[in-house]
Amino acid sequence: MTCLKLTSFIHFRFLPLLLAAGVALLALTAPAAPRKPSDDSEVLERLPTRAGDASARELLALRAAMAAAANDPLPAARLAQRYFELAMARGDPRYVGYAEAVIAGFPEPLPPELLSIRGMLRQYRHGFQAALDDFAAALARNPQLAQAHAWRAAIFLVQANYAAAQQECAALQALGKTILQASCRGLALAYGGQLAAGYGALQQALASSRDPDNRLWLLTRLGEVAAWRGQSKRAEEHYREALSIGRDDGYLLAAWSDFLLDSGRPAEVLRELADWESSDTLLLRLAEAAALENAPDAARLAQTLDDRFAAARQRGDTTHRAEEARYALHLRKDPASAVRLAAENYAVQREPRDARILLEAAIAAGDPAAAQPARDWLRDSGFEDQRLRELGQKSAPGPAQAASRAGAPR
Amino acid sequence: MSLRHVPFRLPALLLFFVLLVLAPLASAHKASDSYLILEVNGREVSGQWDIALRDIDFALGLDVDGNGEITWGELRARQPDIDAWALGRLGLQRGGACRIRVADHLVDTHTDGAYAVLQLSGECPRADAELSISYRLLFELDALHRGLLRLTLDGSSHSAVLAPDRAEQRFVAGESSRLAQFGQYLVEGIWHIWIGFDHILFLLALLLPAVLVHENGGWRGVARFRDALHEVLWVVTAFTVAHSITLSLAALGLIQLPSRLVESAIAASVVLAAANNLKPLVEGRRWLVAFAFGLIHGFGFASVLAELGLPQQALVLSLLGFNLGVEVGQLAIVAVFLPLAYALRNTGFYRRGVFIGGSLATLTIALVWLLERAFDLKLTGG
């Protein structure tokens, strides 16, 4: 019996060797990765824009305008802003780098228009304090810069500092920016525990907004708030109306996909996101849906995502920890890593979705202490989403655990 | 399909790597990186620089026909411009500016698409000064661009992220700790024995009969585990002592043998070891065989070590690390082989399938190697 056990154990231990041998053979016979194509007509890469595209022509014109007026900040601001919008729409961070380079080409001190854009770029990289400083400096030079107030409000919302966010909303009101003000207040109210009031403010903003980009943003946030209130049907109507505007928007697609995943409709996510593998945030949703559906390419999608996270780590990029936590929890089934990543993320970003992944990961890892900051937020904000409240209760240490913790020597 | 949960390290990692390279990769969006691998040994510089085609297009405009696609022809036509552009933004200094040129142009794929691969070679004015690298590629166009550097400087490894605010960085050979270097060569040693089939086959051919006794023209299993262990210890120790001697002599440059002779002799040693199992000539003194041929195998290990390059300032330590690595790798093989063989020694599967069949297969493979190496032929694919 012992002998049998020993053999089976050894068989198992022998496997790596056999595999190693096979793999080494493969490695020896497989061509090395870098290669020399033999055919001049072989297509190596497809660019995101073609020379004749409207967006390529627009960028060309903006670049030419900037080159023609080297010391004028306005053409540079327009080009940087356009790059930033492209980054948002396509989920492509290269455009953020292009925008930063445009601004870096200007001597300090920067004019307020460029300071404000640099603030946007810095918040994109989660340099929240530096971004707040840029916006404050821009406002000191030009108090009329509503955009800077709106961004400061957005950052305070991410940091769960709702009082500070409300101050920025008030500043927008003072500047007469009613739509921006209502959007700002709607979110601050919703995050701060008053979903119905927040929903009303966002609807009020929507009613007076004609600009399709603004409408898309408001409808997306209305969809989120409706879903938090448990009004799935209404949430879906908002999302569908936002989608019908017909503009690429990574945030909308991510929110819509999360809604579908929460509603047990992964098959629709597979359809909606089929062409969006290139964006990390959307690839995460796609891979989750594929795993739930047992889709044939589920393993490939998860592996691709893993490679992306590895590539980001290699360059020291930590802005994707919330997504990586979700990947670790749902796809790699590694709650310990998930809770670590989610806690690191929560130290920087504290939106409801950040609290949710922290709570979920802590429950899966059986680590109630890790979720304490998220429970504190739920208590302090009074955030009303039923799902999150239940997660908060479930993640709390049980009476036995609490007792043993209290009794443990410190 | 995922191999992530397979509970072993090195081979699984490699398998992963192979799958990764072979799998078609979907183009992703990520911030721009270039991958710069440099090896600086004394004055000599070699390396490889992978730059995304999308980035080159953004800087220089590759898509001449404006169809949104970059072909090999379009890339090839601009190679001189690309070289001048890239090399103009990379500076290496070692006792003065190093002269770098692009030796060849290839292409490769990373997670976010196709890359031009510039193979670099060059030389520096001095062999022992500190190395400084200044990197400015794309920074004026893309402030988020990073150069991901992997540098081997006189045998010691460094890695760095080159960014606009860290565009110039200095490296001193031997700055990474001695211990790290020792560990690195240890791993190389383990790795080499694991992928060095000729060594593994030679060792296995000698070990296969260790659990058997030849009596009256037939084989029977040994009675006690101790007997088998005793035999294995002698064989492995003899092999180790022998190849350590020649490995050290060759690595320190005291003896040089032509590699074709060494490789052929290694193949011959495998042929003889396997043949001896089928028609026993040497019995009981297999450790002598192991010692004699171990001397030859040591030269084989030395040629690998020569390719890796031994850092001059930590020569003995690295040599020791590599040698110990080879032993660790060897012991891992023995640790797996011996209990398994012992457990199976009295079965027909072991005697006919593993012992006779395995020896025959080994003999055949080794004969092919011998022919290939001795006559410089190419009989197998690859």
Start-to-end Cα distance in chain B: 26
B29 closest CB neighbour out of A20, A93, A302? A93
Residue A386 lies in a domain: yes
Mean per-residue pLDDT of chain A: 86
Distance, first Cα to last Cα, chain A: 48
- Is B141 found in the same domain as B197? no
Instruction: Show which of B171, B206, B235 is a domain's final residue.
Output: B171
Partner residue facing A303 (CB), from B2, B22, B141: B2
Our count of domains for chain B comes to 2
C-alpha span between A277 and A187 (Å, rounded)? 29
The answer to whether residues B275 and B323 belong to one domain is yes
Q: Is B203 found in the same domain as B154? A: no
Q: What is the pLDDT of residues A222-253, one digit of tens each?
A: 999 999 999 999 999 999 999 999 988 888 99
For residue A214, tell me if it sits in a domain.
Answer: no
Q: Which of B153, B171, B189 is the endpoint of a domain?
A: B171
User: pTM (2 decimals)?
Assistant: 0.63
pLDDT tens-digit map of B172-223: 876 556 677 777 788 888 877 777 778 888 888 888 888 888 777 777 888 8
Express each pLDDT in A125-159 by its tens digit.
Answer: 888 999 999 999 999 999 998 989 999 999 999 99
Q: Could you tell me if B363 and B223 lie in one domain?
A: yes
Q: What distance in Å separates the CA atoms of residue A83 and residue B49, rounded to the nearest whole number?
A: 27
Note the pLDDT tens digit of each residue in A81-127. Answer: 999 888 877 778 899 999 999 998 888 889 999 999 999 999 888 88
Q: At what angle do helices B286-308 and B197-207 cross, to 10 degrees?
A: 170
Q: What is the ipTM of this complex?
A: 0.71
Which positions in chain B touch A100 (Cβ < 8 Å)?
142-144
Per-position DSSP letters for A63-97, written without gaps between them = HHHHHHSTT-HHHHHHHHHHHHHHHHHHT-THHHH
Tokens representing A138 are 């821009």
- Residue B7 resides in a domain: no
Q: Is residue B130 part of a domain?
A: yes
Residue A115 lies in a domain: no
The interface residues of chain B toward chain A in range 58-117, judged by CB-CB distance below 8 A, are 58, 63, 66-73, 75-76, 104-114, 117
Q: Which domain holds residue A393?
A: 318-398
Are B253 and B155 part of one and the same domain?
Answer: no
Long-range contact set of residues A7-15: C-beta below 8 Å, sequence gap at least 24: A7/B340, A7/B343, A7/B344, A10/B336, A10/B339, A10/B340, A10/B343, A11/B340, A13/B336, A14/B336, A14/B340, A15/B8
Domain boundary among B171, B203, B219: B171
> Which residue is associated with the tokens 């920074």?
B139
Shared domain check, B211 and B141: no
Residue A351 domain flag: yes
- Total length of chain A: 410
| CB pair distance less than 8 Å for B21 and A40 | no
Of the listed ranges A262-271, B98-107, B159-168, the least confidently predicted one is B159-168
Is the pLDDT reported for residue A7 higher than 50?
A: no
Q: Give the pLDDT band (50/70/90) at residue B309.
A: low
pLDDT > 80? residue A409: no
Same domain, B274 and B329: yes
CB contacts of A122 in chain B (<8 Å) are none
Angle at B119 between CA B115 and CA B123, to 5 degrees: 145
Which residues of chain B make contact with A36, given a CB cutoff of 8 A? Answer: 104-107
| Interchain pair B26, A11: CB under 8 A | no
Domain count within chain A: 1
> Is the pLDDT assigned to residue B313 strictly greater than 70?
no
Assess whether pLDDT exceeds 90 at residue A215.
yes
Angle value at C-alpha A39, between B67 and B15, nearest 5 degrees: 100
User: In this predicted model, what pLDDT tens digit does every residue of A298-338 receive, in sequence order?
Assistant: 999 999 899 889 888 888 888 889 999 999 999 999 999 99
Regarding whether B143 and B25 lie in a shared domain, the answer is yes
Domain span holding position B102:
19-171
**B82 vs B172: CA distance, rounded Å:** 30
